[in-house]
Amino acid sequence: MSAVEFRGVWKRYGEVDAVKDLNLDCIDGEFLALLGPSGCGKTSSLRMLAGLESISEGDILIGERRINDMPPKDRDIAMVFEDYALYPHLSVFDNIAFPLKVRKVARETIRQRVEHAIDLLGLDSLRGENVQQLSGGAQQRVSIGRAIVRDPQVLLMDEPISHLDASHKVELRGELKRLQRNLGVSTVYVTHDQVEAMALADRLVVMNHGVLQQKGRPQLLYDRPANLFVAGFIGEPPMNFLPCTLIEAESCLRGDHFRLPVGQEFIQRLAPERGEELILGVRPSHLKFQSSNTAIGLAGTVFSVEPRGDSAVVVVDIGSHRLLVEANQFHGASMGENVCLNVTEESLHLFDALTERNLVRVG
Amino acid sequence: MAKVSFEKVSKRFGHTHALRDLDLECDSGRLTVVLGHSGAGKTTLLRLIAGLEIADSGQIKIGDKLVNELPCRERNISMAFESYALYPGKTVLENMAFSFQSGALGAATPPDDARRQVGRIAELLQIELLLDRLPRQLSGGQRQRVALGRALVRDAAVHLLDEPIAHLDAKLRHRLRGELKHLQIESGRTTVWCTPDQIEAMAIADKIVVFNRGVKIQEGAPMDLYERPRNRFVAGSLGDPAINFFDADVEQRGDAWYLATPQWSLPVTDTNAAPLHYLNDHRRVSVGIRPSDIVIHRDRPEIPAFEADVLVLEELGSYSVVTAQVGDQSFKVKSGSDVALELDAGARAWFAPDASRYHFFHPESGEAL
């Protein structure tokens, strides 16, 4: 069953189409992430779902009920904001109880529901604490507690951890995922951070300029990006792109300062509707250093080496292109050195330069 | 080109010690990165070099010249600080070329030369199409780049950059890191760059100086700090995901060394165990092991390993991060293998730490053994 469904949804602000013909669904119990750069329409979409923005066209369903004209409080949703928006003068218990108190729910029911939330979120030892004294992680849990205490159909989150420093983010990310799994609540989560989205989501929806680019499991979008935008947006370090053309007679891809042989099978698998101008895509982790300088491969010069501890990003100039190579810490490359890079055919992505679509078909 | 040195420099703001007794040398012609959270003292450090703050005690030298009393504009430094401070009535080009026009570089530079240099930097920062705009017509990220560009165009003895690429999108940040590093190497400018981002620091620094609450904790080349952190704080500051810490008892059985917890006992290689030789048997140590130094196995492997519950699996494309728990200890593993992909919350798996990659710290002080 779908917890949430968008059917042909548009959002217009005057002349500007912020969201165009959006069709998506969030399956019951699923963690769905809306991912894209600022201005892509993800926040507008979330706000339409919440009832904070009107829907220009199309329908939004929650639990299979059309909610377009329903005020936020009747939509059976709960929202967690970036700043948690906890009531500073109240304890953990009272913060979580608040939404129920406001709705004049019976005292005993409040107690039971709040205890349940506290138990699920591991807040028992902190129940009486003033929320301002708590760590970021604890505050996040209280914020979620307050959201789920009403047992909403859907939990909405708008970049709840984007303001944190890197190490806290990593920590809270894992906790958030675990909590959502334990609670089993359908969650729609908005972020511009693709690492965060990859880590948390059961399924990702990538948007750009108001248009849905691709949706599916994170690993699918990573392995088989539908277009140039998704390919370049997902993955850290980002995918390398090299403009080229396919010389079928020579069974190779040719570009500025490189010539990459490809097999006939590879060529057969390419979508027949394609232009002359192509873009070769290779992920930094799929480029390997070759010990010997053979005819096959990409030859270039090391521009810089960026150590990362357990790995390194080696930046290599090939013709006018600057490629990122993800290597282990024993790569031995140094600035100015001439190197040769190898790549397997399976790891090649090929995009039409005009339509930007991925030409490599699955199977 | 000049070295910057701090000798026993302290600076207080009211009751807050922004910097305590700092001894530091930023080598001539090198890129020194000051790494720390907000409040660590990074900005104060830069402002002291610039002459925007006066030290309470100690000596600050640029080259061999004592500059404590020297006014800012006589110090031959260039700075790009967080408050962009662009001239609102001047275009991007005029803002960036300002130092040429004002004759700050001595004899006035001919306009062609100035424009070319500005153009080059503008192109590097991807703002070449904005040269005729006024600051109010720019986005925050664009303004940040103009301020940075203005600092880079100046050919000063020391360049001071305070989180210069912080608010830009990931792709641009990535690109600029490499470009700015190269520019620094080509020009040979002594540069001091502050950031809270350890990936950035590792990527570009000749030397990283780790700060915490106004105190210099450790300095050294990136991989030196990564491999030989002098305490838990530094160990936890570099690497993503952060290093795992747990307490264990040290056991010696004959010539072999072991770490023991209530749930498991694992060996340590001879070389790695060297710091443990000075401890008595059954001594507690604080152990650090990096997420990338633990291998996951579905079934019990031949090599020493322990069993744990998988709590979370995060698939990040080319690698996965598994959060697991043994006893009341949770830890993270970074794995490039497919084994991680078969796991999910609730599964049990075997974890084999690399016996040569432990870091040992004093359980109370956190100092490396």
Q: Is residue A243 part of a domain?
A: yes
Does A182 lie in the same domain as A314?
Answer: no
Q: Are B60 and B234 in contact (CB under 8 A)?
A: no
Q: A116 and A200: one domain?
A: yes
Residue A357 covered by a domain: no
| Amino acid B100: pLDDT | 66
Among A38, A167, A180, A202, most B C-beta atoms within 10 A, so best to mutate, is A167
Residue after which a domain boundary falls, among A231, A264, A294: A231
Cβ within 8 Å, pair A219-B315: yes
Tell me the residue length of chain B: 369
A102 and A131: one domain? yes
Q: Are residues A118 and A164 in the same domain?
A: yes
How close, in Å, is residue A317 to chain B by CA atoms?
A: 12
If one counts the domains in chain A, the total is 2
Give the containing element (helix H, strand E) for A219. helix A218-223
How much of chain B exceeds pLDDT 90, in percent? 65
Q: Are A159 and A84 in contact (CB under 8 A)?
A: no
Rounded Cα distance, B272 and B265, in Å: 16
Same domain, A178 and A105: yes
Does A57 reside within a domain? yes
Taking CA–CA distances from A315, the nearest residue in chain B reads: B178
Question: Is A12 part of the contact surface with chain B (CB cutoff 8 Å)?
Answer: no
Residue B105, pLDDT above cutoff 80: no
B197: which chain A residues are within 8 Å (Cβ-Cβ)? Answer: 166
Domain harbouring A62, CATH code? 3.40.50.300
Q: Which residue has the higher pLDDT, B85 or B334?
A: B334
Q: Are residues A19 and A103 in the same domain?
A: yes
Tokens of A166: 């890197």
Are A238 and A230 contacting, i.e. CB atoms less than 8 angstroms apart? no
A199 plus A278 within the same structural domain: no
Q: Based on the domain organization, do A241 and A341 belong to the same domain?
A: yes
- pLDDT, greater one: B341 or B241: B241
Complex-level ipTM: 0.88
What pLDDT is attached to residue B113? 79
DSSP states of B108-152: PPPHHHHHHHHHHHHHHTT-GGGTT--GGGS-HHHHHHHHHHHHH
Structure tokens at B38: 């907000």
User: How high is the pLDDT of residue B104?
Assistant: 52
Instruction: Extract the tokens encoding B32.
Output: 């020194």
Residues B128-155 have a mean pLDDT of: 89
Is B194 or A134 the better-scoring residue by pLDDT? B194
A199 and B315: CB-CB below 8 Å?
Answer: yes
Q: Is the pLDDT at B7 greater than 80, yes or no?
A: yes
Contact between B226 and A166 using a beta-carbon 8 Å cutoff: no
Yes or no, beta carbons of B318 and A167 under 8 Å apart: no
DSSP B225-253: HHHS-SBHHHHHHSSSSPPEEEEEEEEEE
Please count the residue pairs, one from chain A and one from chain B, whose beta carbons lie less than 8 angstroms apart: 101
Core vs surface per residue B165-194: b (16+ CB within 10 A) or e: beebebeebbbbbbbbbbbbbeeebbbbbb
| CA dist A210 → A206, A229, B33 (Å) | 10, 13, 39
Q: What are the residues facing A80 on neighbouring strands? A: A157
Instruction: Give me the residue from A200, A303, A309 closest to B226, CB to CB.
Output: A309
Domain that holds residue A281: 237-352
Query: For residue A105, which amino acid is it?
Result: V
In this structure, the answer to whether residues A38 and A71 fall within a common structural domain is yes
Same-domain status, A120 and A30: yes
Which residues are bridge partners to A158 per DSSP? A190
How do residues B164-182 score in pLDDT, each as one tens digit? 988 787 778 888 998 899 8
For chain A, the residue count is 363
pLDDT value, residue A363: 55
A237/B311 Cβ within 8 A: no
Residues of A within 8 A of B40 (CB-CB) are none
pLDDT band for position B107 (50/70/90)? low
pLDDT for A312 equals 95
Contact indicator for A341, A214 with CB cutoff of 8 Å? no
10-residue mean pLDDT profile of chain A (363 residues): values are 95 95 96 94 96 96 94 90 82 92 90 89 88 85 88 91 81 87 93 94 96 96 96 94 94 90 91 92 94 70 93 93 90 89 92 95 68
User: Å from A287 to nearest chain B CA?
Assistant: 12
Does residue A55 belong to any structural domain of this protein?
yes
Residue A360 domain-assigned (yes or no) = no
Chain B interface, best mutation among A172, A220, A236, by max B CB count within 10 A = A236
Is residue A48 situated within a structural domain?
yes
Determine contact: A328 vs chain B, CB below 8 A. Answer: no
Whether A351 and chain B come into contact, CB under 8 Å, resolves to no
pLDDT at B260: 93
Domain boundary among A182, A212, A231: A231
Per DSSP bridges, beta strands A211-216 and A203-208 are antiparallel
CA nearest neighbour of B40 among B197, B159, B205: B197
On chain B, the residues whose CB falls within 8 A of the CB of A311 are 292
**Cα angle at A179 between A175 and A180, to 5 degrees?**
120
Last residue of a domain, one of A199, A231, A263: A231
pLDDT of residue B117: 86
Q: Which CA distances in Å does A263 have to A247, A270, A296, A357, B230?
A: 12, 11, 13, 21, 52
DSSP state at residue B291: G
CB distance A280 to A260 below 8 Å: yes
Whether residue A157 lies inside any domain: the answer is yes
Instruction: Reduce the DSSP state of residue A49 to 3 states and report it.
Output: helix
- CB proximity A336 to B under 8 Å: no
- Tokens 């059309």, residue? A66
Domain with residue A329: its CATH number is 2.40.50.140
Cis peptide before A218 (omega within 30 of 0): no
CB contact under 8 A, A174 and B314: yes
Q: Is the pLDDT of residue B282 over 70?
A: no
Measure the CA–CA gap between A324 and A320, rounded to whole angstroms.
13
3-state secondary structure of B305: coil
Reported as a single tens digit per residue, the pLDDT across B202-258 is 999 999 999 999 999 999 999 999 999 999 999 999 999 999 999 999 988 888 999
Whether residue A262 is found in the same domain as residue A195: no
Tell me if A358 is assigned to some domain.
no
Kind and range of the H or E run holding A148: helix A136-148
Tell me: pLDDT of B318 over 60.
yes
| Largest separation between any pair of C-alpha atoms in chain B | 77
